[in-house]
Amino acid sequence: MITKYKARARKQSGASARHGGEFAGPFRRSGSEASKLHEPQVVKTATAVHSGSKLKIMVLGGLEEVGRNMTVFEYDKEIIIVDMGLQFPEEDMPGIDYIIPNVSYLEDKTNQIKGVIITHGHYDHIGGIPHLMGKLGNPPIFMGKLTAGIVRKRVEEFNKCPKLNVQEINENSKLQLGKNFRVETLRVNHSIPDCFAVIIHTPVGTVIHSGDFKIDYSPVNDKPADLNRIAQIGGQGVLLLMSDSTDATHPGYQISESSIGDEMGKIFEKLEGRIIIGTFASQLSRVQKLFDLGEKFGRRINLQGRSMNDNVEIAHQIGYLKFNPRILVEDHELNRLPDNKVIIIGTGAQGESNAFLRRVVNGEHRSVNLKAGDTVIFSSSVIPGNERTIQTLRDVIVRQGAKVINYQMMDVHAGGHAKQEDLKLMMRLIKPEYFMPIEANHYMLQAHAELAEQVGIPRDKIFVADNGQIVEFQKTGGQVIGKLTKEKVITDYVMVDGLGVGDISNIVLRDRRVMAEDGMIVIIATIDSKTGDIIGNPDIISRGFVYMKENKELIQKTRMKVKKIVKDHNPHTQADDDYIKNKIRNDIGQFLFSQTKRRPMVLPVVIKV
């Protein structure tokens, strides 16, 4: 599948072949044309344009949230996909593990899907793969070496996932996917190695999908992005840039990962006790610096969390993490080492309930307990919505005699996403005709759109879309015209809860929220099947609503209300179970609200004897 263009490509100039090479010639502009960034222009293509054919782009996830990233490109009954991620649940989604994209638009087009390209190995870009590849006909899937290792490890847990046709790519890969899509990859920097921007050559022009990126001139265990090549691609003519907006609201430049290691080193020099570090399992560049510092300061390293151990093992096997395995120490050996010879690295810097750090703080970990003299470093920024959870976690840590260091106190975290000045630099290098911010909440997309205007992209050529909203490009009268249509494909949440995928509806979620907020009350009424009269007093069970022993008067009034509801039915007809249940549910719900201003879930049970 990984091919190079042949006869025509070999006729390109040497410079063209070096920088994006075989595809470059047909998209080149002269110097005077390149300087006229926003003048209408004909974007020449190497493939014949079918009359009436349109390039359709639709984002199935990632335009209204951070996560669930998945983008579909469609031209003349051929489709390629970039990324297939998950989104972690919001606070109002009790019990939900995560959310994946809705692919119903693609399910009757599986024979048209020519390939899936994965930009990097974070779960918001790969997490949907085990659930969706079977539904999509299991097309070939292309990704970097490290990403492939992480994906293969993840799909082992999913029996229903078909055997994937994974093909590894690098920054020199060139893919011919169907007749209409020719794809190059461009290495970019992020917080994990093997990250790529995707350059898609289509019959109507070149589209660049940035993936997650930042501009790091001294990355850890990675090569910096080739800015010369980026500029050269821009000079050849780019129809559309789709760019990461996660940090579009943050001014300035993103700091380098290597500078975090320097800052950490200054901290380590002053610490005598154990050092416990919470970070993301995918922050492998950070983990590398911690291994380096462990060796420098003579500390052994203990890894905590399955995802942390899996990622370190995969990255070490393929040479992306470099360390002497003897530096690692197992749990049972920790107590034999002096405190000043230990670094513990684990997950849970976001306060996740089952992660390593939370279990340590709660005293539930089998081998690590907090004690005076420990220093806990939160080496990650706070994901919006987790502020209170993390603050509570820090409070408990300090109460147990340990110290806390976080990114707000000193530079112990570098983000993986470009900030405003980096984003503007990327736009100036690529010089796109059209621009589309992606991968963020809507206000971040809008902030990125404003940056695009600042660098000179006309407002009518900036598309701030919603999930599922179709963007079209069509060659008309010698020019390629793009528009943000009003047409949308389905992008509803598909929620994963345990082994269930998509079986949790909004109604179920609503019920969970009601029970979480106001509790529930169960009313059991026993009725004579012949007369319809109630037998005895109704039984009432309250869970999360009121404590029954302290609210005897309310419970008694509720019983009397239920007896009256049952008694008031037509004595000449048999008692209708559904009618009585609905009557109890509605009337008791209104009564309890009038008494308490709460709306518990009312569950009526009618037993006929």
The DSSP-derived string for 473-528 is: EEEETTEEEEEEEEEE-----EEEETTEES---HHHHHHHHHHHHH-EEEEEEEE-
Provide the whole-model pTM: 0.76
Higher pLDDT pick, 28 / 508: 508
Percentage of the residues of the chain whose pLDDT score is greater than 70 = 81
Specify which of 184-193, 195-204, 549-558 reaches the highest per-range mean pLDDT: 195-204
Give the three-state DSSP class for 318. Answer: coil
pLDDT at 229 over 70: yes
In angstroms, what is the C-alpha Rg of the chain? 29
Q: Collapsing DSSP states into helix, strand and coil, what is residue 185? A: strand
Compute the Cα dihedral for 302, 304, 307, 308 and give only its sign: negative
Express each pLDDT in 165-193 by its tens digit: 999 999 999 999 999 999 999 999 888 88
Long-range contact list for 355-364, CB < 8 A, 24+ apart?
355/305, 356/278, 356/304, 356/305, 356/308, 357/276, 357/278, 357/393, 358/393, 360/276, 361/393, 361/396, 361/397, 361/400, 362/396
Question: Structure tokens of 446?
Answer: 């809008």
The pLDDT-based confidence of 67 (bands split at 50, 70, 90) is confident
| Of the listed ranges 93-107, 331-345, 511-525, 565-579, the one predicted with least confidence | 565-579
Cα 234–chain centre separation: 28
Tokens of 286: 């950070």
Residue 534: enclosing H or E segment and its boundaries? none
Kindly state the percentage of the chain with pLDDT values over 90. 42
Least confident range of 91-95, 103-107, 179-183, 604-608: 91-95
450 vs 459: CA distance, rounded Å? 9
pLDDT of residue 168: 95
Tally of helices (H runs) and strands (E runs) in the chain: 17, 25
- What is the four-CA torsion angle of 148, 153, 156, 158, rounded to 10 degrees? -80
- Residues with Cβ within 8 Å of 98's Cβ and at least 6 positions away in sequence, in order, are 86, 87, 88, 89, 127, 495, 496
What pLDDT is attached to residue 6? 33
The pLDDT of residue 48 is 45
Band of the pLDDT at 31, cuts 50, 70, 90? very low
Quick check: 50 pLDDT over 70? Answer: no
Q: What is the pLDDT of residue 359?
A: 84
Q: How far apart are CA 87 and CA 367, in angstroms?
A: 31
**HSE (CB half, 13 Å, CA atoms) of 209?**
28
Structure token pair of residue 456 = 């000179």
Whether the Cβ atoms of residue 28 and residue 16 lie closer than 8 Å to each other: yes
pLDDT for res 499: 57
- In this prediction, residue 319 carries a pLDDT of 87
Rounded to an integer, what distance in angstroms lies between the CA atom of residue 64 and that of residue 440?
6
pLDDT of residue 589: 87
Q: Which residues contact 212 (CB under 8 A, 6 or more apart)?
A: 119, 120, 122, 125, 188, 190, 195, 244, 246, 416, 417, 439
Residues with a known catalytic role? 244, 417
Mean pLDDT lowest among 287-296, 372-381, 415-424: 372-381
- Residue 40 in this model has a pLDDT that exceeds 60: no
Q: Taking Cα atoms as reference points, which of 274, 279, 244 lies closest to residue 261?
A: 279
Q: In this predicted structure, which of 91-105, 234-248, 360-374, 459-473 has the lowest mean pLDDT? A: 91-105
Q: What is the pLDDT of residue 51?
A: 46
Range in 301-310, 430-439, 593-602 the model is least confident about: 593-602
More confident residue, 569 or 329: 329
- The average confidence (pLDDT) of the chain is 82
Q: Is residue 51 packed enough to be buried (19+ CB in 10 Å), middle (13-18) or exposed (0-12)?
A: exposed
Residue 9 has pLDDT above 70, yes or no: no
Please indicate whether residue 229 or residue 510 has the higher confidence score (pLDDT): 229
Instruction: State the residue for tokens 């050849």.
Output: 236
CA 459 to chain centre: 28
Which among 97-101, 436-440, 588-592 has the top mean pLDDT?
436-440
For 428, half-sphere exposure in the C-beta direction (CA atoms, 13 angstrom radius) is 9
Least confident of 31-35, 230-234, 321-325: 31-35
Report the distance separating Cα 156 and Cα 122, nearest Å: 17
Predicted pLDDT at 299: 92
Residue 54 has pLDDT above 50, yes or no: yes
Predicted local confidence at residue 371, as pLDDT:
86
- Residues 241-288 have pLDDT tens digits of 999 999 999 999 887 767 766 778 888 888 888 999 888 888 888 888
Task: Please compute the mean of the pLDDT values over residues 577-599 and round it to a whole number.
Answer: 85
Tens-place pLDDT, residues 458-477: 999 999 999 999 999 999 88
pLDDT band at residue 49, thresholds of 50, 70 and 90? Answer: very low
Q: Average pLDDT for residues 312-326, to the nearest whole number?
A: 91
Residue indicated by tokens 């008494």: 595
Sign for the pseudo-dihedral over CA of 153, 154, 155, 159: positive
Angle at 565 between CA 563 and CA 569, to 5 degrees: 115
